[in-house]
């Protein structure tokens, strides 16, 4: 990771970085010039004696005109350049592949044209333009991938679009950039850029092969559950160390007796956990907000089992 | 430059009267200035403490200081609201404006002294309403964007009412200042001799008068939405959340200039005195304040480049934003040119003024990044914004505020502080500020979003440095505060002279602290406020 600008991994990054570089050169030049003159004057004309000579200069039209015109020209160049690059960011090519994105407190859902769905993980193909059609279920969110240099607010009550062509195979952070409440800083997801071969495999594949994207070898249910816990966004609301985040902590959860909103109690066992993942509002624990979405159609039975196995280990 | 200023025999300083009643019912502009100064300083301290808490939390990626992310979110909402609405908007304009404006133009008080006291009481009422509304506790951020602010049950109507009442105080103060500048200037104090702080106060007053009513309109729409179910902002009712952002920034962007223009005025007063030079390009500085004030009404959408506004709107607002940079650059060049061939004394207030130029230049240049459309897409809502905003607001306004405090301290309170301690505190403030906020530019480039209670581990080193910096900055401000408070408690530390720095401005021609009605006899002004070294240069010309 370079210290000032992140790795570039989309077709749009180069033009954004070029203008950023230009503005940086101009800024550093003027900052060094201004600071050097300021410090230079401060040293040269420091008061050495009480009756030190000073010059009586009130203004100078020529120099004032020059230092008005030069910044004005530079600023207009920066404006025009920024606008041209912005047009590119805003206008996707016609052949771009469409992905539907739903942002909600506090997770990301992706739906591909094949009907495939994924949660908190976006799968795209290297060197293929993608157009995201995004909507929000609740408040304003913002789709931000620093390595792609793209960002777009997602508002409820309409669609917003954003496009890019990923150029590098790899996994990149997707961050929510518009403040959206208590889970905002955990509304993170991954963008997986796959090679054409891997993408074709993923498109055809079932759940097991999807797992192959992350790790080729088969792993134990507990390890798989642990991965799902972070990949599927459980961690945004459920801690594993006993801290109260939004929902109940997973620590010591299994085998515990919880008091429900209607005053009745329930033993937390495999069946209760499964029901609460698929139908969160069926048996609500007292004192927690009804914010959890249903994971029906998102987490397979296998995945729920793996998650439960993982929760059991959190003691 | 002024004749017949004082007859020492009847001198009763304005601070002589004691007792609570002498303060809460005062119509003396200098005392009202102190009332504002004390109140805003109190809120500045609270806002600063919440910031230290946030920085402490951010030292590590996990949640460890606050008990929940919501607590962190409440902290940044409180920090932003206190600093913006309670401290920095009324800050210099109301405190320094009140104290200095009549003194500088040679008047006994403002045009409407009782309305002036009313403004202060309205300001207090506004802070009470806003504090009550924030006690919820609100976790919306100081921008109160809908629909989150509706969903979270924040008292948006109360908050808007509070901001409007605060704004109404600004309207009355602005109106008072405009009338005072027009009607109460001493004989000979022509427009072209007026101190630049007065020009800046005038430009600020116009902004206050014109921008604040927009908050009132927003308030009415919010009430109509709630009471009659007409969808304006809430998408659930068919409204448009973008409309709220438009209203919010149509007020809040000009408000940014309400915060910074008075600081420009202070810097323009300090530099000529300690450089013993006329301010360079007087007219350019005076007019550029007005240029900035006018253009600032037409740039608000640059806060919304990624919110889904049209490409055309984005282009227009990017262009207008670039235009604001021009008068701003002119001011910086003029201040530096004032130093040329001067005789510079590094009084603590001058150190603040010089660091203002450096830090404000960084704040201004990074503003150009954000005005350029394609770059803003990457940097919007990241720590780059946080750093930019603090370079303008602390590096700019607060440095001006501290500089002004040290410059007019003995005039205001009739006491002197320890200059060496003041310089040490300045050094800590300058270093601490940069250590806190400079890493945030890099963090923003890397993609660290703002308003994150927890964050990906890769940003930890920037955050850690930033937190260490906040401790240095906090220590600097603590030392500065103690240094300024101590002399007020002692029966010593009286100034040796009423005009120790050799200023030509009228406020320095009266004793420190000034008498109740400033001038026994209204002075007659015979020369420009900044004609430092003119007599000598004329004498040399005759030789």
Q: For position B152, what pLDDT does the model report?
A: 80
Give per-residue pLDDT as tens, B90-123: 889 999 999 999 999 999 999 999 999 999 999 9
Task: Name chain A contacts of B373, Cβ cutoff 8 Å.
Answer: 82-83, 85-86
Contact B24, B17 (CB under 8 A): no
Structural domains of chain A in order of their starting residue, each with its CATH number: 13-44+59-90 (no CATH), 97-214 (2.60.40.420), 221-312 (1.10.760.10)
Task: Name chain B contacts of A139, Cβ cutoff 8 Å.
Answer: 147-148, 151
Q: What is the DSSP string of B251-304?
A: HHHHHHHHHHHHHHHHHHHHHHHHHTSPPTTHHHHHHHHHHHHHHGGG-GGGG-
* Count of Cβ atoms closer than 10 Å to residue A81 Cβ: 19
User: Cα dihedral sign for B204, B362, B319, A158?
Assistant: negative
Q: Which ranges of chain A does DSSP label H, i.e. alpha helix?
A: 13-44, 61-90, 196-204, 207-214, 221-231, 270-278, 301-312
Task: Name chain A contacts of B342, Cβ cutoff 8 Å.
Answer: 41, 45, 54-55
Q: Provide the edge-to-edge strand list for the sheet that holds A130-136.
A: A117-119, A107-112, A97-104, A130-136, A160-164
User: Cα dihedral sign for B90, B46, B447, B234?
Assistant: negative
* Count of Cβ atoms closer than 10 Å to residue A128 Cβ: 15
Query: How is residue A117 written in tokens?
Result: 């769905």
B-proximal residues of A, 50-109, CB under 8 Å? 52-60, 63-64, 67-68, 71-72, 75-76, 78-79, 81-90
Query: How is residue A248 written in tokens?
Result: 């109940």
- Cα separation of B275 and B344, whole Å? 4
| Site from B137, B336, B337, B377 to mutate, A interface, most A CB atoms within 10 angstroms | B377
* B187 touches A at CB < 8 Å: no
Would you say residue A188 has pLDDT above 70?
yes
pLDDT band at B504; cut points 50, 70, 90:
very high
pLDDT band at A112; cut points 50, 70, 90:
confident
Q: For position A216, what pLDDT does the model report?
A: 37
Q: What is the mean pLDDT of residues B308-323?
A: 94
How far from A128 is each of A11, A144, A214, B402, CA to CA, in Å?
Answer: 10, 19, 21, 55
Contact B316, B295 (CB under 8 A): no
Q: For position A213, what pLDDT does the model report?
A: 44
* A5 touches B at CB < 8 Å: yes
Give per-residue pLDDT as tens, B137-189: 888 888 888 888 888 877 878 888 888 898 889 999 999 999 999 999 999 99
Task: Name chain A contacts of B339, Cβ cutoff 8 Å.
Answer: 38, 41-42, 45
Would you say residue B482 has pLDDT above 50?
yes
Q: What angle do CA B263, B264, B268 make, to 5 degrees?
A: 115
Give per-residue pLDDT as tens, A259-309: 998 888 888 887 788 889 988 888 889 888 888 888 887 887 778 878 888
- Cα separation of A153 and B309, whole Å? 10
Contact B441, B460 (CB under 8 A): no
Give the phi and the psi of residue B126 in degrees, each rounded to 5: -60, -45
Provide the residue ranges of all domains of chain B, joining segments of one domain with +: 8-535
Give per-residue pLDDT as tens, B414-471: 999 999 999 999 999 999 999 999 999 999 999 999 999 999 999 999 999 999 999 9
Q: For position A2, what pLDDT does the model report?
A: 54
Task: Kindly identify which residue of chain B lies nearest to residue A27, measuring between CA atoms.
Answer: B365
Burial of B350 (0-12, 13-18, 19+ CB in 10 A): buried
What CATH code would you report for B8-535?
1.20.210.10
Query: How is residue B284 written in tokens?
Result: 């350019």
Give per-residue pLDDT as tens, A199-217: 988 888 754 444 444 433 3
* B290 touches A at CB < 8 Å: no
- Cα separation of B413 and B483, whole Å? 14
Q: Which residue has the higher pLDDT, B432 or A135?
A: B432
Q: For position B401, what pLDDT does the model report?
A: 97
A-proximal residues of B, 100-159, CB under 8 Å? 139-141, 145, 147-148, 151-152
- Cα separation of A159 and A154, whole Å? 7
Q: For position A3, what pLDDT does the model report?
A: 62
DSSP letter, residue A103 = E
Q: Residues with Cβ < 8 Å from A50, sequence gap 6 or more?
A: none
Q: For position B3, what pLDDT does the model report?
A: 45
Q: What is the mean pLDDT of chain B?
A: 92
Burial of A290 (0-12, 13-18, 19+ CB in 10 A): exposed
Q: For position B4, what pLDDT does the model report?
A: 44
B-proximal residues of A, 114-173, CB under 8 Å? 138-140, 142, 144, 146-147, 149-153, 155-158, 160, 173
| Site from B373, B430, B453 to mutate, A interface, most A CB atoms within 10 angstroms | B373
Give per-residue pLDDT as tens, B317-329: 999 999 999 999 9
* B319 touches A at CB < 8 Å: yes
Q: For position B147, what pLDDT does the model report?
A: 86
């Amino acid at each position: 990771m370079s210290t000032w600008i992140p790795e570039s991994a989309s077709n749009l990054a180069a033009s954004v970085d070029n203008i950023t570089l230009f503005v940086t050169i101009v800024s550093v030049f003027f900052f060094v010039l201004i600071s050097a003159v300021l410090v230079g004057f401060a040293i040269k004309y420091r008061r050495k004696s009480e009756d030190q000579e000073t010059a009586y200069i009130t203004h100078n039209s020529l120099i004032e005109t020059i230092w008005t015109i030069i910044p004005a020209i530079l600023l207009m160049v920066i404006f025009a350049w920024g606008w041209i690059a912005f047009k590119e960011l805003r206008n996707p090519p016609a052949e771009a592949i469409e992905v539907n994105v739903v942002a909600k407190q506090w997770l990301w859902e992706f739906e591909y044209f094949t009907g495939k769905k994924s949660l908190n993980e976006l799968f795209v193909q290297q060197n293929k333009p993608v157009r995201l059609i995004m909507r929000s279920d609740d408040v304003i969110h913002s789709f931000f991938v620093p390595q792609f240099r793209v960002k777009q607010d997602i508002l409820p009550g309409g669609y917003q679009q954003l496009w890019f062509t990923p150029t590098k195979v790899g996994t990149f952070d997707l961050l929510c950039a518009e403040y959206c409440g208590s889970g905002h800083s955990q509304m993170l997801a991954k963008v997986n850029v796959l090679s054409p071969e891997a993408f074709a495999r993923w498109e055809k594949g079932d759940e097991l092969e999807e797992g192959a994207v992350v790790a080729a070898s088969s792993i134990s249910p507990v390890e798989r559950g642990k991965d799902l816990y972070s990949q599927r966004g459980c961690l945004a609301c459920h801690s594993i160390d006993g801290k109260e985040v939004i929902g109940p902590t997973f620590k010591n959860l299994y085998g515990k007796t919880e008091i429900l909103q209607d005053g009745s109690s329930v033993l937390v066992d495999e069946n209760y956990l499964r029901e609460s993942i698929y139908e969160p509002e069926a048996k609500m624990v007292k004192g927690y907000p009804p914010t959890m979405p249903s994971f029906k159609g998102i987490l397979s039975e296998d995945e729920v089992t793996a998650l439960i196995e993982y929760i059991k280990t959190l003691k | 430059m002024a004749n017949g200023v004082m007859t020492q025999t009847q001198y009763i300083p304005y601070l002589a009267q004691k007792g609570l009643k002498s303060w809460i019912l005062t119509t003396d502009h200098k005392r009202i200035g102190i009332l504002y100064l004390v109140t805003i300083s109190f809120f500045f301290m609270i806002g600063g403490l919440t910031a230290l808490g946030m920085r402490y939390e951010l030292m590590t990626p996990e949640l460890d200081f606050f008990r929940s992310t919501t607590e962190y979110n409440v902290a940044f909402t409180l920090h932003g609201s206190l600093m913006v609405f309670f401290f920095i908007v009324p800050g210099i304009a109301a405190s320094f404006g009140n104290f200095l404006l009549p003194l500088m133009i040679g008047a006994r008080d403002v045009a409407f002294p009782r309305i002036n006291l009313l403004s202060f009481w309205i300001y207090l009422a506004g802070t009470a309403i806003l504090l009550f509304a924030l006690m919820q506790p609100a976790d919306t951020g100081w921008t109160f964007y809908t629909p989150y602010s509706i969903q979270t049950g924040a008292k948006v109507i109360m908050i808007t009412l509070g901001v409007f009442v605060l704004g109404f105080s600004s309207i009355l103060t602005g109106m008072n200042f405009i009338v005072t500048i027009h009607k109460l200037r001493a004989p000979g104090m022509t427009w072209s001799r007026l101190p630049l702080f007065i020009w800046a106060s005038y430009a600020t007053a116009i902004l206050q008068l014109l921008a604040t009513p927009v908050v009132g309109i927003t308030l009415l729409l919010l009430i109509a939405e709630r009471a009659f179910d007409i969808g304006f902002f809430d998408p659930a009712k068919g409204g448009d959340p973008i409309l709220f952002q438009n209203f919010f920034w149509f007020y809040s962007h000009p408000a940014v200039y309400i915060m910074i223009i008075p600081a420009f005025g202070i810097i323009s007063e300090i530099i000529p005195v300690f450089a013993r030079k006329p301010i360079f390009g007087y007219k350019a500085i005076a007019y550029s304040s007005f240029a900035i004030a006018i253009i600032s009404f037409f740039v608000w959408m640059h806060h919304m480049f990624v919110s889904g506004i049209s490409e055309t709107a984005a282009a227009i607002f990017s262009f207008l934003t670039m235009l604001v940079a021009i008068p701003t650059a002119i001011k910086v060049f003029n201040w530096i040119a004032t130093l040329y061939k001067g005789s510079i004394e590094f009084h603590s207030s001058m150190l603040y003024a010089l660091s203002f130029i450096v830090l404000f230049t960084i704040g201004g240049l990074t503003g150009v990044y954000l005005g350029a459309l394609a770059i803003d897409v990457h940097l919007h809502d990241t720590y780059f914004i946080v750093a930019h905003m603090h370079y303008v607001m602390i590096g700019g306004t607060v440095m001006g505020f501290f500089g002004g405090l040290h410059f007019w301290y003995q005039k205001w309170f009739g006491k002197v502080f320890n200059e060496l301690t003041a310089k040490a505190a300045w050094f800590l403030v300058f270093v601490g500020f940069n250590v806190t906020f400079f890493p945030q530019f890099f963090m923003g480039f890397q993609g660290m979003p703002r308003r994150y209670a927890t964050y990906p581990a890769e940003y930890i080193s920037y955050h850690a440095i930033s937190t260490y910096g906040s401790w240095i900055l906090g220590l600097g401000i603590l030392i500065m505060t103690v240094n300024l408070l101590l002399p007020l408690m002692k029966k010593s530390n009286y100034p040796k002279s009423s005009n120790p720095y050799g200023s030509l401005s009228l406020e320095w021609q009266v004793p420190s602290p000034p008498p109740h009605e400033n001038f026994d006899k209204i002075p007659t002004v015979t020369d420009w406020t900044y004609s430092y070294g003119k007599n000598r240069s004329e004498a040399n010309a005759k030789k």
